[in-house]
Structure 1
Amino acid sequence: MVNTYYHYQQRWWLIHPGGWVAAVHKREWVIAAFGFAAILLLLLSFSFIFSSPSPSSSSAADHHHHFSGPPDHFVPIVFLTNAALRGAYCLDGSFPAYHFQKGYGSGARRWVLHIEGGGWCNTIASCSFRKMTALGSSKYMDRHVQFSGILSSDQSHNPDFYNWNKVKIRYCDGASFAGHPESELKNDTKLFFRGQLIWEAMMDELLSIGLSNAQEALLSGCSAGGLATLIHCDDFREILSKDAKVKCLSDAGFFLNEKDIAGNATIQSFYHDVVRLQGVAGSLKKDCVANKEPSKCFFPQNMMNSINTPLFLVNPTYDFWQIKNILVPSPADPRGHWRKCKLSIHNCSPEQIQVLQGFRNSFLKAFSEYQQMKNFGMFINSCYIHCQTWVSETWHGPNSPRINNKTIAESVGDWFFDRKASKHIDCPYPCNPTCYNMDFTGR
């Protein structure tokens, strides 16, 4: 299944395998790429749901960079030199990879890392499919990717981090860098569950090229990479100097343990299968695993109180990935009453909006206890979108989403540099006119 793109009259037209067509203005292309990575990531993240578009990986944006953001650089891929020694392999046995841009000037000893997103695989079948893609094998990864958003080198689009050492960590294990080889099956599937080893090998290599001398460092990630950021946040703090300022930023990584509209524990069941298949329990917070079934500790709401490193959350309360896959997965809506609503929040009926407001309330309640934490920051907006930090259009620009007249970049900067308290929660939809609300129906 491959999406087909046509460029016509300043728009990108997407011909979806399911038959629908979407048009997106050129300026909005990279934002729309989140949804247009659709079918591939849908298969990768929820192997039992096959209808609606799904979460982002960088793949679509990397291939189709037609947008009006800054002239960011294309950065070459680097394969882990110590992978074989560590036994750190992607799902298919290929070497993990990253992209690195060296910092300069005041950023020479400052580092920002961004972990790529792209769902999870919970069965032998879905992991076997995944290993034939860039999310399970470095053989299929782009050799150059564009650094934008939090990785941008343009000071006007990334005022606080533009000249830092910047790393994009490619995601090729399917369990948020938390799988363990002990869970590999001794049969002919030839799948490697080495997420934890990839993480350790990646950190070893980055330390060897200068991260060990960092004065300041920010670990960030989007979607499944945002979850990986939460899982490994304290590990990242521990490998760096005690004198260094180290913080973590999770973008669209706060996945809710919420039942779907039919009352089924869809996401809980899915996470249970991921954790069991890939041996994830060994990477989860020990105090949580001691008291809860391990897969429940894969949910941020059950692990955040164990994270000691300063943390910032960027998340929409109407995260389209979560609405499509957690709240209203296709099996929970067999007659398709929610189809139009999932394609665009503007199409939702008043009754459906009420359900979405309930989901927002659950979201706010899930992390309410953390809001008073001194080192905790947040930018929780009311947009129908998924990841917002690695694209310049939503990270920081004249038309970027704002809360209290602050962009995401400004809010993160205020928090990281202790300029001022940075805890922003939006009013409910449709109150924020600065939102990018994804629309998959065409315009």
Structure 2
Amino acid sequence: MVGVINGRSRETLYALLETLVPSLDEKTARAIAGESASEAVVASLMQSGRQAEAVAAIERALEVLLAHEARDFRVALWLLGTRLGTLALTGCLPPFGGFGAWEVGERETALLSMARSGVGQRRKAFNALKRLLLAVIISSTGEDGTNPHWAAAGFSLPKALFRPPPKSADYEWPTVENEKSVTCDVAIVGSGCGAGVCAARLAAAGFDVVVLEKGEIVAADELGGDEASAFARLYERAGLVTTSCGSMSILAGATFGGGSTVNWSCSLRTPPIVQNEWGFPFCGERFEAALDEVSRRLGVQERDVVHNRPNAILFKGCEVLGVDVATAPQNLEKTDGPEPWLIPYGDRFGLKRSTPRTYLRDAAKTGNCRVISRCEVRRVLRDAAGRAAALECLDGRKVLARRAVVLAAGSLNTPAILLRSGVPNPNIGRSLRLHPVTPVVGVFEPPPNEMFAIGDGAPMTVVSRAQAFKEDDPYGALIEVPHGPLALSIACKPWTGGLALKKDLLLAKRLSPLVVLQRDSGDGGTVRLDADGLPVVDYKINDHDRRSMTTALVQAAKILAAAGARRILTYHLADPVDVPARRTEDHHIEAEIRRRGVASRPNDITLLSAHQMGTCKMGTDPATSVVDQRAQSWELPGCYVCDASLFPTASGVNPMLTTMALATIVSDDLAETLSKQSDQDDDSRRALRWIRARRRLRLRRAAVLAAVKSETLMPVDPGASDALVRFDVPEARCLDGSAFAYYMSTPKPKVTDYAIYLHGGGLCLEPIDCAERAKGDEGSSNNWTDALAAGDNVLSIDGPFANWNRVLLRYCSGDTWTGTDRETAKSRFGLFFAGHQMINATIDRLRRQYNMSRVLVAGGSAGGVGVNVNCDFIASKLEGAQVWCSPQSGLFFPDDVYARWQQILNFPEVPKEPASVVASEYVTRYFDSFVDESCARALGDDWRLCWTANVALKYVETPVFLAQNAWDEWQLDYVLCPRLDLGDDCPDDYLASYKNKTLVTIYRLATASFSASFGAWIPSCYAHTADTCLVPAKRSPPRPTLVQGNSYSDVLVDWMTSSNHNNNPSNPWLLIDDCVSQNDATPCNPDCAGC
């Protein structure tokens, strides 16, 4: 067993247990208990913490801790088992042996030295040990279901526990048991507030839904109502989650129903000030209507709420002081008696309208929802198009989701799943909000029934906003009453010695606690993964929130004093406030609290969190958010988030209603999206088949393409006359992370003219393709030679730019020269897409070293797209220089900005969106693409369309000369040509229409372009790359392709030097082939052989 503690470590553990909770002799026990104390109380005080049940429980706890936490615990035991280790950990040196060699009093002194140490690691170690060991000592039970320390506190399990639960508390769920592969329309991860609503809405819309819950479905009669079993079965890591620094405990549900099963039923609406701060879709009539709908379904009401003693104290104190107070609406059918006090332990009697009693039952009753329990999701899997398609579970199961995946696993586990899935968004896990909480306690006269003070009634029925949501500072704190189970209360309370702890137990029935719940501000915390892929929380309270919590703590103390408290206690761990509470000395209480403050250093005060929010922020910009306003991942299409991790900032109130209202909107939007897609499913599948067929066709042509590439980029000796020599640019990275490099002719210092050529290389759209590409020269520079021949493009030594400085940017980015990944950016699938960064870094280098007065930027294929998108950007960096751009073969359809890749309407057999794989929205997200700024401003919400040349070119202000074939073979092959299942050839009428589309697009650009000069050279050829060769040596005799009697190079030079530029259809630089063919589907230029 992994958790077993043996040998010297076990003896050290016994010593710790006996020190934290020592055995008192009978005389001392009777003295502190009082003359009227029962024999049971005296016997309880005489018990030590060393008990078999506690040791076994600690060993079980080690099984659920994170690996490094369990390791730290074992290391602490090992250190305390040695003399020098004890000195290192406590600052005290035993005369011999380790911690256990001391007497109890000396051990107590050593532990207090740890607690009060100025060394943060000692305080962290002490609080981790104290928190775990005390919780286990006070909560673990023997075979009789009792704990020997409960009697001292006047605590016993409510008699209601022993009454059978009603049949309505359980439900027969449609479950999936042992199937290794499950298929559905929508797979939902989680079963809490967001997941339950989502399952109900989608199932009602007719979608086949599967809910995956890593916790178990616990039958009502299995809910014991005691802390130990409840935390072990219902809470994340058995309630032992802490921040990485150890200063804050985090409670999160990990059972069927999630947080809705174990929360305290406080049902507060999203405050208007928060709605206005967050904006759409968190505000307005639709959000208010969603709040109303959720409240009705949960039965939220405040009219019949009965307050237990601590809540009545809060209400009374606020009324005496004249500060804000109100009844907190509840989603409970009953708020008085012992039954509602048990709701954090699983709601044995079915009083609370959690998601298993409302939305999940609604989903199950449709017949469209199944549940898989005890199934932890590891990661989201993608299909060939890069969409979320399945879930991989730790038990080996796979759940295939035909339509969508919804992550609603909570703000700790939802980002963890996305991180394990390799989703490349640096915002995942960031902006974590925790609503940090710290208690303050009033000591009152004991209640008449001598019952433990919070052993009756609903736990949180009153709320004070006296320090919250102020106009000058919306980031204040609520004051509420916590659910205070005995073990958790003792474990969180400052430990000031063994005898003091015994007195704390006796005092328990007189305590009435309040908590201040801070709406945390600032940047928030972070969820990251440990070595095992499990979530780790980094969090630190900022200065504003410390001040705010201190002020609220003072207010809470005054409320307790006004309600009649005899003493006020705080949970400052090393130096707790313990002062008399007299209304005339409020200033004394305030001074003591403000002197200590809140969280001035880690592990100085008890901090807890029961609300986790904001790690997958919804937003309008992928630079600052994880999902868009419909909750879909920016980088992983088909993956949606539907829980409190969507919150932009902290809600400031218990987040249940806010989460469920937002889930209502997200789910309805998703149902609408999926319904619209249903009509396109057959076409989409057919399109995918066609794209794959064309991919196979491309593979058959691979040898030819490889030959072309090898001739285009021919290695040469660096001393050759046509050599371009390599210059590394480590500021930018190829796909595999190797340094980018450009190639340049021997610099001519007196020449200020530069011809820059962006090499083409297609693009990769799937992780597997990109990974393969990263192994070769088109994704890695590792095997690039020191020099290359200039080739037959604008860099040719036989062309008109031979006397210019010539620069080749070699392709290795996997994108279309648009990716923005930098060395320190989070790479996608372990790869870098940095085409734009390559251009940026190269231009920076050139302009720092050389004077550049005239610059031609050209490129073919992917390089042509790169020229289109980066043209104005390059010109802006070369301020003062004359810049021309000549994209070649980078024009893709549609021509209409708002067509969104819809196909030609004259051909109904063409799928409506077969080009979605390479659609601009997908590509810009996949590559984190740069787009032309003028285009982006003009298109607003449609800015992603600026990735396509036909859209971007309209807004480019730099002179542009376009070279494009009338038929682009690659576009037809990959995405457009219909009826591929009937053969490889496109029908003539389609080809004719395609050519006309090309010409219409170019005419529109000529008349609507922002450019000071727009020209085009369009041969009647069927090929991807237009014949822009300057030395067409393949022809015999050698001759260039001519359009209206002009070669590309001749027209390009004339265009660059001419002042006669007219952007209209009669533009002399708009050269379209005028050869005559038998029909519009047949190329007619006699020189279409290509370079």
Shorter-normalised TM range: 0.7 to 0.9
Partner of residue 971, structure 2: 322
Cα deviation, 1:232-272, whole Å, max 9, x if unaligned, reads: 10111112242x32110000011123538632423343233
Q: How many residues align?
A: 363
Partner of residue 911, structure 2: 263
Structure 2 residue 980 is matched with structure 1 residue 333? yes
Cα deviation, 1:202-236, whole Å, max 9, x if unaligned, reads: 111222332xx222111111011101001110111
Is the deviation greater in 425-434 or in 124-133?
425-434
Structure 2 residue 774 is matched with structure 1 residue 131? yes
Q: Displacement of 1:166 after TM fit? A: 0.6
In structure 2, distance between residues paired with 1:163 and 1:200: 25
Out of 240, 250, 254, the residue aligned to residue 887 of structure 2 is 250
Cα deviation, 1:404-431, whole Å, max 9, x if unaligned, reads: 1100111111111116542101135646
In structure 2, distance between residues paired with 1:385 and 1:49: 15
Structure 2 residue 716 is matched with structure 1 residue 76? no
The RMSD of aligned alpha carbons is: 3.5
In structure 2, distance between residues paired with 1:362 and 1:288: 23
Q: Displacement of 1:59 after TM fit? A: 6.0
Change (3 A) 1:149 1:200: closer
Gaps of 5+ in 2: 1-690, 715-719, 895-900, 1061-1067, 1075-1079
Q: Displacement of 1:186 after TM fit? A: 6.2
Out of 40, 45, 50, the residue aligned to residue 695 of structure 2 is 50
Change (3 A) 1:412 1:367: same
**Contact 2:936–2:943, Cα closer than 8 Å, also in 1:** no
Structure 2 residue 841 is matched with structure 1 residue 204? no
Q: Displacement of 1:177 after TM fit? A: 2.2
Change (3 A) 1:408 1:241: same
Task: Output aligned runs, 1:104-123, within 5 Å.
Answer: 108-123=751-766
Structure 2 residue 1013 is matched with structure 1 residue 375? yes
Out of 264, 282, 287, the residue aligned to residue 937 of structure 2 is 287
In structure 2, distance between residues paired with 1:171 and 1:57: 19
Q: Displacement of 1:120 after TM fit? A: 1.3
Matched residue SS, 2:727: strand
In structure 2, distance between residues paired with 1:375 and 1:264: 35
**Contact 2:794–2:858, Cα closer than 8 Å, also in 1:** no
Partner of residue 63, structure 1: 710
Partner of residue 276, structure 1: 925
Q: Displacement of 1:77 after TM fit? A: 2.4
Change (3 A) 1:252 1:56: farther
Amino acid at match of 1:312: F
Greater Rg over alpha carbons, structure: 2
Cα deviation, 1:44-100, whole Å, max 9, x if unaligned, reads: xx7885222379999634534799xxx9724332211xx2xx3x2111100111110
Quick one: higher RCO (CA 8 Å, sep 6+), 1 or 2?
1
Q: Displacement of 1:283 after TM fit? A: 6.0
Partner of residue 423, structure 1: 1070
Partner of residue 364, structure 1: 999
Partner of residue 193, structure 1: 833
Cα deviation, 1:129-175, whole Å, max 9, x if unaligned, reads: 22112121112434432212311112xxx1x3121111110111122
Partner of residue 220, structure 1: 858
Question: TM-score if structure 2 supplies the norm length?
Answer: 0.31
Matched residue SS, 1:290: helix
Is the deviation greater in 162-171 or in 259-268?
259-268
Change (3 A) 1:142 1:181: same
Matched residue SS, 2:756: strand
Partner of residue 311, structure 1: 960
Amino acid at match of 1:334: D
**Contact 2:873–2:932, Cα closer than 8 Å, also in 1:** no
Change (3 A) 1:250 1:55: farther
Q: Displacement of 1:116 after TM fit? A: 0.6
Change (3 A) 1:241 1:187: closer
Partner of residue 739, structure 2: 95
Structure 2 residue 1037 is matched with structure 1 residue 389? no
Amino acid at match of 2:965: P
**Contact 2:1021–2:1083, Cα closer than 8 Å, also in 1:** no
Matched residue SS, 1:138: coil
Partner of residue 88, structure 2: none
**Contact 1:217–1:246, Cα closer than 8 Å, also in 2:** yes
Matched residue SS, 1:60: helix
Change (3 A) 1:281 1:186: closer
Q: Displacement of 1:389 after TM fit? A: 2.7
Is the deviation greater in 126-135 or in 282-291?
282-291
Amino acid at match of 1:112: A
Partner of residue 408, structure 1: 1048
Amino acid at match of 1:290: G
**Contact 1:382–1:429, Cα closer than 8 Å, also in 2:** no
Is the deviation greater in 135-144 or in 299-308?
135-144
Matched residue SS, 1:204: helix
In structure 2, distance between residues paired with 1:111 and 1:409: 16
Amino acid at match of 1:89: R
Matched residue SS, 2:794: helix
Cα deviation, 1:357-388, whole Å, max 9, x if unaligned, reads: 11111112223222235510110111122223
In structure 1, distance between residues paired with 2:777 and 2:834: 16
Amino acid at match of 1:402: L
Q: Displacement of 1:192 after TM fit? A: 1.6
**Contact 2:713–2:788, Cα closer than 8 Å, also in 1:** no
**Contact 2:924–2:930, Cα closer than 8 Å, also in 1:** yes
Structure 2 residue 872 is matched with structure 1 residue 234? yes
In structure 1, distance between residues paired with 2:835 and 2:764: 12
In structure 1, distance between residues paired with 2:870 and 2:751: 24
In structure 1, distance between residues paired with 2:875 and 2:702: 28
**Contact 1:389–1:395, Cα closer than 8 Å, also in 2:** no
Change (3 A) 1:186 1:414: closer
Is the deviation greater in 406-415 or in 388-397?
388-397
In structure 2, distance between residues paired with 1:394 and 1:268: 39
In structure 1, distance between residues paired with 2:936 and 2:1046: 37
Amino acid at match of 1:407: S
In structure 1, distance between residues paired with 2:1046 and 2:827: 53
Question: TM-score if structure 1 supplies the norm length?
Answer: 0.72
In structure 1, distance between residues paired with 2:1083 and 2:764: 36
In structure 1, distance between residues paired with 2:740 and 2:713: 28
